[in-house]
Amino acid sequence: MHRSDSAMRHFDLTDNEPSSRVAILDEAARTCSVPFRARPADRGRRVRFQHMDRYFGGVNVTRTALDNFSGLRSAKLARTDPAPRLILTVSSGPYLIEQNGRAVRQRSVSMVPYWSCDAYRLHGDEPTRAWSVTVPIADLGLPYLFLRDVGVRNIGHSPLGPMVRKYLVELAGLGELTPERAASLAHPTVDLIRALLTTAGGDEFLSRQPLGRTLGMRIMLHLRSQVSDPELSADKLAAHFGISKRYLYAVLAGMNVTLGEWIRTERLGRAARALTNPANALVSVAAIARMSGYPDHSSFSRAFRQRYGCTPSDWRLRTGPDGTEPDPQGDPARWSGSAQPSRRAQ
Q: What is the rounded distance in angstroms from the CA atom of residue 171 to the CA atom of residue 189? A: 9
User: What local confidence, expressed as pLDDT, does residue 242 receive?
Assistant: 77
DSSP H or E run through 267: helix 259-275
Report the Cα 251 to chain-centroid distance in Å. Answer: 20
User: What local confidence, expressed as pLDDT, does residue 57 receive?
Assistant: 92
User: What local confidence, expressed as pLDDT, does residue 5 receive?
Assistant: 39
CA dihedral 145, 149, 155, 161 (to 10 degrees): -10
The amino acid present at 232, given as its one-letter code, is L
Beta bridge partners of 65: 50, 129
250 φ, ψ (degrees, to nearest 5)? -65, -40
Rounded to the nearest 10 degrees, what angle do helices 161-172 and 186-200 cross at? Answer: 150
User: What local confidence, expressed as pLDDT, does residue 51 receive?
Assistant: 87
The amino acid present at 301, given as its one-letter code, is S
Helix, strand or coil, per DSSP, at residue 115: strand
User: What local confidence, expressed as pLDDT, does residue 255 receive?
Assistant: 83
* pLDDT < 70 regions, the chain: 1-7, 14-20, 203-214, 319-346
Report the Cα 181 to chain-centroid distance in Å. Answer: 12
HSE-CB at 98 with a 13 A cutoff on CA atoms is 12
User: What local confidence, expressed as pLDDT, does residue 308 receive?
Assistant: 92
User: What local confidence, expressed as pLDDT, does residue 318 receive?
Assistant: 75
b/e per residue 4-28 (b: at least 16 CB within 10 A)? eeebbbbbebeeeeeeebeebbeeb
Tell me the whole-structure pTM to 2 decimals: 0.59
HSE-CB at 219 with a 13 A cutoff on CA atoms is 30
